Amino acid sequence: MPDPRIVIYGPGSTGLAITKMLCDRGVRPVAAIARTGSKTVGKDLGELAGAGRIGVIVSDRADETLAKARADIAVVTISSYLDDTLYGIFEKVVKAKADVVTLAEEMLYPWVTAATLSRKLHELASAHGVTVTGTGHQDGYWVNLVGVLMATGHKVSQVSGALSWNVDDFGKTLAEQQLVGRTKEEFEAWKKSTKRKPTFGAISLYALAATARLTPTGAISTDTQPDLATSRVYCKALGKYVEPGQLLGYTDTDTMKTKEGITLRISSCGKVYVPGESDFNKWVLSGKRADGTNVRLQMLNADLPTAVTTCATLVNRIPDVLEAPAGLVTIDKLPQLGHRPSLAARSSEA
Amino acid sequence: MPDPRIVIYGPGSTGLAITKMLCDRGVRPVAAIARTGSKTVGKDLGELAGAGRIGVIVSDRADETLAKARADIAVVTISSYLDDTLYGIFEKVVKAKADVVTLAEEMLYPWVTAATLSRKLHELASAHGVTVTGTGHQDGYWVNLVGVLMATGHKVSQVSGALSWNVDDFGKTLAEQQLVGRTKEEFEAWKKSTKRKPTFGAISLYALAATARLTPTGAISTDTQPDLATSRVYCKALGKYVEPGQLLGYTDTDTMKTKEGITLRISSCGKVYVPGESDFNKWVLSGKRADGTNVRLQMLNADLPTAVTTCATLVNRIPDVLEAPAGLVTIDKLPQLGHRPSLAARSSEA
Ligand SMILES: NC(=O)c1ccc[n+]([C@@H]2O[C@H](COP(=O)([O-])OP(=O)(O)OC[C@H]3O[C@@H](n4cnc5c(N)ncnc54)[C@H](OP(=O)(O)O)[C@@H]3O)[C@@H](O)[C@H]2O)c1
Ligand SMILES: NC(=O)c1ccc[n+]([C@@H]2O[C@H](COP(=O)([O-])OP(=O)(O)OC[C@H]3O[C@@H](n4cnc5c(N)ncnc54)[C@H](OP(=O)(O)O)[C@@H]3O)[C@@H](O)[C@H]2O)c1
């Protein structure tokens, strides 16, 4: 099979990192789309990505670019939730008969939290014979590693993850979202008043439950706790100091109960790091031995390079998406996530 | 789908632990087979397993028992390598039109190290419309967790595992195999003279390479180093002390090179533990960031309860084997290893 023809849709931070990885692997994207007014329009995608000129100019004319590109798949790295805007972008790609692989966090398992748009997207993709799939860091670390671990335990009753990411790896928007530099009182007021979208942790619990063939009962509960500075800490994303007592960020803990009696929980901390801290992913499964005594299964991924894992996971999912049946196909329905030396589909699509 | 009809073939240490797990999950085996002379013959399988009487009497008449059992699958926990004896046992099961799931270590990926018998077994199973698959602890910890991890890295060049198991969790045979209590001179003489079978580490590297779609180049190299006692240590399996300077066991390091330039390595230590030691499974992957700088992906499973993971993994693989196409089907061709609340196949077999 020849290399897939790939379009980069949303050449921002992750879209460009994925572009660089694709070029490193010898698979140059064939087109790139940005919105009108973006400073990337008219520039060479390879140059923007630090991969050198590749002769692909970023365009703001989506329909025309998609029509010309004859793409097999579009990498969509624009936003997090399956709202009307993101649906509209997927629709353009689907109508151009290309698959979609996206980092949009809700797309990991949108069936519950965006049920209506999910069904509509599934019908649209099915009708056009293409696949739409969400992946990213969670696919490996919050879902599939945990799913494998769960298969190695007996009478597992609780699955608990704790993980941390650094606000200063990203821009101002995320730092503000994590309430960096706010007071404890401001945090409490926000917590009372906020109508938050489902957390990324909650969405990944739905994907984990589906992967482990569990049936959620009731809604996921989310608890949020502030992480307070004990000394003065500089926040690069905001360009200012966080004072002792102010928020470095906060931790969301999402809990899901299942019909099978297994509780799934994920604690996700996003904050400004103090020296010595780094990204980690840690899971503990509580189960039983055959003799009835308690036993724990543990996994720790220390010093985790989340920026790498996010984009590399998407790249390795490309052949799975190309090979998948048509429709909105979430990761629980894909083959085991794995390393793919070739990005081409092994069989032609149905 | 109704619960599968399961035969326990070889009700020893792991066969009985699996029996207990199956009973805990409400799926009682329907028959059990041992060899003539085994002290298990004529006893109730459930009582042997500590699960209470289940009315299944262990028989030494394999053909008759298999004919009567109308089994969907046999759990074979007898020996490690695909030799003529194990082939003969699989043949009986296959001819009785039941699938096989086994802990035999070589069966994880026997295509290279037992090529002729593998092909013969594949033809036999295909002709009878049944599946034969090897699984166990390695399926999760040495292959599939590592396979997922590899999907999250960019330009991975080396994948290195280090793991340890305790000789005193098993019997005298394994303690002798690991040369516990021997001198360094005896170890060196053994190393020169021995014609060892492929290590379990080497076999699992073949399964990992297949899972990661890599092509091995040349043979796997195996290096073996002694683990020497620095103080007096009691070996339960042998019922005697290991003196300072004598072997507590040894560590095999297997290395595979691949056409894709990725080196796979596994260091497997089997020894008598000194206080404070426990089973672990640790992997480090060396790769690159998109900007070309080095990066490592790490995973540690500490305090690993290997006896649980071995048997629970087999149990959770049962529906995958029931659903798989006919033939010798190794784990790289199965769906992602995962937790299975129901052991029934989801679709009827082809
Ligand atoms: N699942 C995961 O593991 C994971 C990891 C990281 C990020 N993400 C998610 O992925 C998304 C992208 O992240 P990022 O760090 O790459 O963000 P970013 O740097 O802000 O990039 C987003 C890009 O999308 C472009 N864009 C916005 N609206 C568009 C439209 N209508 N049409 C075309 N292009 C449009 C932006 O263009 P402008 O130049 O006009 O702004 C920008 O280039 C975020 O939602 C983030 O949460 C997921
Ligand atoms: N893949 C993994 O993760 C993993 C983990 C643990 C063990 N294993 C492997 O699994 C195998 C079994 O281990 P184990 O600890 O259960 O050993 P075990 O306690 O010695 O059990 C073996 C059983 O097989 C029976 N047996 C031997 N030959 C037979 C035959 N021809 N017909 C019927 N039954 C026969 C034995 O009966 P008797 O009563 O007559 O001896 C015994 O009950 C070993 O090869 C071990 O290396 C694999």
- Checking if the pLDDT of B348 tops 70, the result is no
pTM above 0.95, yes or no: yes
pLDDT in tens, A47-62: 999 999 999 999 999 9
What is the C-alpha separation between B174 and A65, in angstroms, rounded?
A: 65
Q: Span B300-311, mean pLDDT?
A: 95
pLDDT band at residue A349 using 50, 70 and 90 as cut-offs: very low
What is the C-alpha separation between A40 and B138, in angstroms, rounded?
A: 47
- B213 CB near a chain A CB, below 8 Å? yes
Whether B309 and A152 lie within 8 Å, measured CB to CB: yes
- Checking if the pLDDT of B350 tops 70, the result is no
Measured from the Cβ of residue A316, the count of other Cβ atoms closer than 10 Å reads: 26
pLDDT in tens, A185-233: 999 999 998 888 999 999 999 999 999 999 999 899 999 999 999 999 9
What is the C-alpha separation between B298 and B294, in angstroms, rounded?
A: 13
Residues 166-205 of B with CB under 8 A from A: none
What is the C-alpha separation between B244 and A229, in angstroms, rounded?
A: 51
The percent of residues above 70 in pLDDT, for chain A, comes to 99
Residue B268 C-beta-side C-alpha neighbours within 13 Å? 19
Whether B148 and A150 lie within 8 Å, measured CB to CB: no
Distance from CA of A145 to the nearest CA of B (A): 6
pLDDT in tens, A120-147: 999 999 999 999 999 999 999 999 999 9
What is the C-alpha separation between B159 and B220, in angstroms, rounded?
A: 14
Ligand 2 contact via B13 beta carbon (within 6 Å): yes
Q: Span B134-160, mean pLDDT?
A: 98
Q: Span B67-88, mean pLDDT?
A: 97
Instruction: Identify the sign of the CA torsion A22, A24, A25, A30.
Output: positive
10 Å CB burial of residue A246 (0-12, 13-18, 19+) is buried
- Checking if the pLDDT of B63 tops 60, the result is yes
- A161 CB near a chain B CB, below 8 Å? no
Q: Span B236-259, mean pLDDT?
A: 97
Q: What is the mean pLDDT of chain B?
A: 96
Residues of A in contact with B344 (CB under 8 A): none
Predicted local confidence at residue B171, as pLDDT:
83
Distance from CA of A266 to the nearest CA of B (A): 18
CA angle A153, B282, B294 (to 5 degrees): 135
Q: Span B119-125, mean pLDDT?
A: 98
Predicted local confidence at residue A209, as pLDDT:
98
In this structure, which residue's CA is closest to atom 25 in ligand 1? A10
The percent of residues above 90 in pLDDT, for chain B, comes to 93
Place of tokens 């077994």: B121
What is the C-alpha separation between B303 and A300, in angstroms, rounded?
A: 12
Residue A189: phi and psi, rounded to 5, are -65, -45
The amino acid that residue A337 corresponds to is L
Q: Span A259-285, mean pLDDT?
A: 97
Residues of B in contact with A260 (CB under 8 A): 341
Predicted local confidence at residue B173, as pLDDT:
84
- B211 CB near a chain A CB, below 8 Å? yes
A347 or A315: which leads in pLDDT: A315
Predicted local confidence at residue A198, as pLDDT:
94
- Checking if the pLDDT of B199 tops 80, the result is yes
Whether B213 and A304 lie within 8 Å, measured CB to CB: no
Parallel, antiparallel, or unpaired for β B158-166 and B280-288?
Answer: antiparallel
pLDDT band at residue B195 using 50, 70 and 90 as cut-offs: confident
Whether B148 and A214 lie within 8 Å, measured CB to CB: no
The percent of residues above 70 in pLDDT, for chain B, comes to 99
What is the C-alpha separation between B323 and B337, in angstroms, rounded?
A: 13
Predicted local confidence at residue B256, as pLDDT:
98
- A149 CB near a chain B CB, below 8 Å? yes
The CA-atom distances, in angstroms, between A43 and each of A5, A14, A56, A76 are 20, 17, 8, 18
Ligand 2 contact via B137 beta carbon (within 6 Å): yes
Predicted local confidence at residue B51, as pLDDT:
97
Predicted local confidence at residue A291, as pLDDT:
86
- B284 CB near a chain A CB, below 8 Å? no
Question: Which of A202, A194, A161, A162 lies closest to A178, judged by CA?
Answer: A194
Nearest atom in ligand 1 to A17's CA: 16
pLDDT in tens, A94-128: 999 999 999 999 999 999 999 999 999 999 999 99
Residues of B in contact with A316 (CB under 8 A): 151-152
Parallel, antiparallel, or unpaired for β A131-134 and A327-328?
Answer: parallel
Give the 3-state secondary structure percentages of chain A, helix then strand then coil, rounded to 5: 35, 25, 40
Question: Which of B217, B235, B239 lies closest to B227, judged by CA?
Answer: B235
Question: Which of A92, A73, A60, A82 lies closest to A18, judged by CA?
Answer: A73
Q: What is the mean pLDDT of chain A?
A: 96
pLDDT in tens, A290-336: 888 999 999 999 999 998 999 999 999 999 999 999 999 999 999 99
Q: Span B208-228, mean pLDDT?
A: 96
Residues of B in contact with A75 (CB under 8 A): none
- Checking if the pLDDT of B196 tops 90, the result is no
Residues of A in contact with B337 (CB under 8 A): 147-148, 151, 336
**Of the partner residues A24, A305, A338, the one whose CB lies closest to the CB of residue B147:** A338
Predicted local confidence at residue A350, as pLDDT:
37
Predicted local confidence at residue B309, as pLDDT:
97
Angle between helices A84-95 and A62-69 (to 10 degrees): 30
- B260 CB near a chain A CB, below 8 Å? yes
Pocket of ligand 1 from Cβ distances under 6 Å: A 10-15, 33-35, 38, 40, 77-80, 103, 105, 136-138, 310
CA angle A266, A267, A270 (to 5 degrees): 130
What ipTM did this prediction achieve?
Answer: 0.96
Residues 74-133 of B with CB under 8 A from A: none
Whether A151 and B24 lie within 8 Å, measured CB to CB: no
Cβ atoms of B117 and A274 within 8 Å: the answer is: no
